[in-house]
A and B are shown apart, each in its own frame.
Chain A
């Protein structure tokens, strides 16, 4: 009798267990299958910029002085991250340095320069948009772009201002780089300029922009140094261009802090806004 009662228990438990197992497998398998399809390595080698993406609908050329009503905040929306079509008015191209395989400088606590530059670029973009100035990120996530590609995209989109962002030791505060040609610019042949000195027609405006941003940062008590240097790809840009380098201080605490980055971003945006009237003036003809 004992045997019969045991077998009876097994007869009830076995089908119930099987049914439960089938339900779990049926519900669980599809969700596991879906995930790997779109998974991508963050540091995929030489991944090019997704330029074939459908261009999001954007408002027509907007008056830069007018506040951008309903603009996507801090680069979260797709419309905020794509470059504008050609000749679409004044806009700032923000280039987060490095990316993908190119990690840039190794900062404190193992942070890569490419991550700090992207975070900072997003903050600068948000600050500019808050001031009614159109801004676009040249690198929207973690992928590689050559220096020539960066200049090419910026020139192709006819950026009004180009800002390259970097981060590295040693020192403190921020360093602002104004472009400096490595050799005197040759005379322009008609509408064309050599690639190496495309910046030559914008040097004065670039220096004025660097000074304006430095003044704004100084006003807020942020240590700032202005340097002329052949920082790539500033000399290839056919627009006023500056480089902004966040400097890792002692212990490397400040450079990754949101408070520091927000403060620098706000003052960089204020400097660009201050110079906007000068930069919006008609520019000299550059390379095509």
Chain B
């Protein structure tokens, strides 16, 4: 016959082992999530030099399928092409958060900005912009509207914009909305207002 105090001790030890194990699993999960978030925030290019500015950005919210203006604090350089890149990155940074108001997938970024003339810009994105974007006409339109409206407001003078994905033309963003044509920012303003 095992003494009662011995039984209680073993039971307590087993409970301690179980609780410690569960606690360790929880800690590991939290650390993994932190690492993933840190990877998302890693800059792929050196930060630009410029004044810190509060800029308006139009953010898409999938939950209520609407676009809403928010304020972001970013370093805005004087160079126009860099201003375009930083304004767009401020929007993409919102979408890269966990949880995201409008998830686009990992690795979505602006690779290059080509100023064809003072009014016309070609934006080259990473392949993930087209490859990981959810396939839905509404979500695709919300993505383009939020990027183009943010651009219109923060870099005045730009009238026409075209997107490339990894240096190539693409028919649609993710199967629905046109990505091949040049977008007139005035035209896009009217479309974005429908979604605000």
A residues with CB within 8 A of B: 97-98, 102, 104-106, 113, 146-147, 166, 168-171, 175, 177, 180-184, 196, 227-232, 235, 243, 245
B138 touches A245 (CB 8 A): yes
Q: How far is the CB of B189 from chain A (nearest CB, A)?
A: 12
A104 touches B135 (CB 8 A): yes
C-alpha gap A170/B139 in the complex (Å): 8
| B171 close to chain A: CB less than 8 A | yes
B136 touches A235 (CB 8 A): no
B residues with CB within 8 A of A: 62, 65, 134-139, 141, 160, 171-172, 175-178, 180-184, 186-188, 190-191, 194-195
Which 5 residue pairs across A and B have the least CB separation, nearest first? A168-B136, A105-B135, A230-B178, A183-B184, A182-B181
A168-B138 in contact given A98-B175, A183-B181, A196-B181 (Cβ < 8 Å) = yes
A231 touches B137 (CB 8 A): yes
Q: How far is the CB of A169 from chain B (nearest CB, A)?
A: 6
A147-B184 in contact given A175-B137, A232-B177 (Cβ < 8 Å) = no
C-alpha gap A180/B188 in the complex (Å): 9
Interface SS of chain B: mixed
| Given A184-B186, A227-B194, A232-B171: 11 more A-B contacts, CB < 8 Å | A98-B175, A171-B65, A180-B191, A181-B187, A182-B184, A183-B182, A229-B177, A230-B141, A231-B178, A232-B177, A235-B181
B136 touches A230 (CB 8 A): no
C-alpha gap A254/B136 in the complex (Å): 17
Pairs A–B under 8 Å by Cβ, sample size 13: A105-B175, A106-B135, A168-B136, A170-B62, A171-B65, A180-B187, A183-B183, A183-B187, A184-B186, A227-B194, A229-B137, A230-B181, A245-B137
Q: How far is the CB of B196 from chain A (nearest CB, A)?
A: 12
B183 touches A168 (CB 8 A): no
C-alpha gap A98/B95 in the complex (Å): 27
C-alpha gap A266/B139 in the complex (Å): 27
Q: How far is the CB of B140 from chain A (nearest CB, A)?
A: 8
A166 touches B176 (CB 8 A): yes
A168 touches B137 (CB 8 A): yes
A184 touches B171 (CB 8 A): no
A147-B134 in contact given A181-B187, A184-B184, A227-B195 (Cβ < 8 Å) = no
Chain B residues with CB below 8 A from A166, complex form: 137, 176
C-alpha gap A243/B188 in the complex (Å): 19
Residue of A nearest to B162 (CB): A182
C-alpha gap A229/B141 in the complex (Å): 7
A232 touches B138 (CB 8 A): no
Chain A residues with CB below 8 A from B187, complex form: 180-184
Residue of B nearest to A171 (CB): B65
A232 touches B191 (CB 8 A): no
Q: How far is the CB of B195 from chain A (nearest CB, A)?
A: 7
C-alpha gap A146/B180 in the complex (Å): 14
Residue of B nearest to A235 (CB): B178
Q: How far is the CB of B61 from chain A (nearest CB, A)?
A: 11
C-alpha gap A180/B187 in the complex (Å): 8
Chain B residues with CB below 8 A from A181, complex form: 187
A182 touches B136 (CB 8 A): no
Query: Counting chain A CB atoms within 10 Å of each CB, which of B136, B181, B184 scores highest?
Result: B136
Chain B residues with CB below 8 A from A230, complex form: 141, 177-178, 181, 191
B138 touches A147 (CB 8 A): no
Chain A residues with CB below 8 A from B184, complex form: 182-184
Given B136, B183, B188, which contacts A170 in the complex, CB threshold below 8 Å? Answer: B136
Residue of A nearest to B145 (CB): A229
C-alpha gap A245/B195 in the complex (Å): 16
Chain B residues with CB below 8 A from A180, complex form: 187, 190-191
Query: Counting chain B CB atoms within 10 Å of each CB, which of A166, A170, A171, A230 scores highest?
Result: A230
Given B138, B178, B188, which contacts A175 in the complex, CB threshold below 8 Å? Answer: B138
B135 touches A113 (CB 8 A): yes
Residue of A nearest to B161 (CB): A182
